[in-house]
Structure 1
């Protein structure tokens, strides 16, 4: 399992996930840069993602939906606020309606993804920051922490496929 740890900090209004992968930073960056690779792991295995928009530039937007086991669709959006290839990306994240418009439901969170080389491997840190303790708790109750661990846990398989190609 690639995930090393998760830490929920209600005082700081954050959830931090740390994972390590047997691949270089540039290769791991591609998992965010390429929407076809991103949708193979963003979302837990039972709620796979489909990215129908992915404007991977500062100020650009991504639109996606995750499809549950019963066919239910949960729509979301990202707005990229900062990209520093291949080391860091930041984006605002929220729920959307079926047309991709932000709903404001449960507010907006902010993610900072940092990639750093560690002894021939890459350490990925995902820091999610919330607007309030209530929002953080609502997201935890929805299964965000476990879902993120399951999602990131799918990355090793994708990296192994490309390493053997």
Structure 2
């Protein structure tokens, strides 16, 4: 797995994860726009996901429920800010009142995903810009970087089945 992750010092607000995926850009893109394919890999290791809504356009929403191995359900809602096929997806999480978040609410950030074609491979980069350095620090301590990297590990394994 070609994996690169940068956890920035507390004074910075951005987390960047880059992967060189052994799949063409069109296929990698499809794993984001197709709710069935997205559910196959979204979420941390050993979690399963159900996509209940995926309005894949700017202003559209994406609702996913991730299930932990112990059965705990973690609902998350996102809103797409920009979609430029097949190059860029920009989204942010929407606030959630779910009780499951009481001790570890989802971080507030703007995610920009880019898909760069490189022959039959894709350089995939996620930039998560947090509202503050403290927000980034809180997210990292809460497992955001770990869980995101685990999801991208699952994406790599999923792409290898094609």
TM range (shorter): 0.7 to 0.9
Aligned to 2:30, the other structure's residue is in SS state helix
> What's the TM-score once normalised by structure 1's chain length?
0.86
Structure 1, unpaired ranges of 5+: 99-104
Aligned counterpart, 1:7: 6
**In the alignment, is residue 22 of structure 1 matched against residue 22 of structure 2?**
yes
Over 4 Å off, 4+ runs: none
Map Cα deviations across residues 71-122 of structure 1 (whole Å, 9 max, x no partner): 1111111100000000100001245245xxxxxx455211000000124310
Query: Kindly tell me: are residues 95 and 6 of structure 1, through their superposed partners in 2, closer, same or farther at Cα, counting changes over 3 Å?
Result: farther
Q: Which residue in the other structure is 1:101 paired with?
A: none
Give 3-state SS (helix, strand or coil) of 1:37's partner: helix
Q: Partners of 1:136 and 1:93 in 2: how far apart?
A: 14
Instruction: State the shift of 1:158 in Å.
Output: 1.8
Partners of 2:44 and 2:37 in 1: CA distance? 14
Q: Which residue of 2 aligns with 1:141?
A: 141
Distance 1:107 1:147, change over 3 A: closer
SS in 2 for 1:135: helix
In the superposition, the TM-score normalised over structure 2's length comes to 0.88
Q: Equivalents in 1 of 2:138, 2:23: separation in Å? A: 34
1:26 CA drift (Å): 0.9
Kept in 2, the 8 Å contact 1:75–1:97? The answer is: no
After TM superposition, give the deviation of residue 17 of structure 1 in Å: 0.4
- CA pair 81-55 structure 1, distance change in 2 beyond 3 A: same
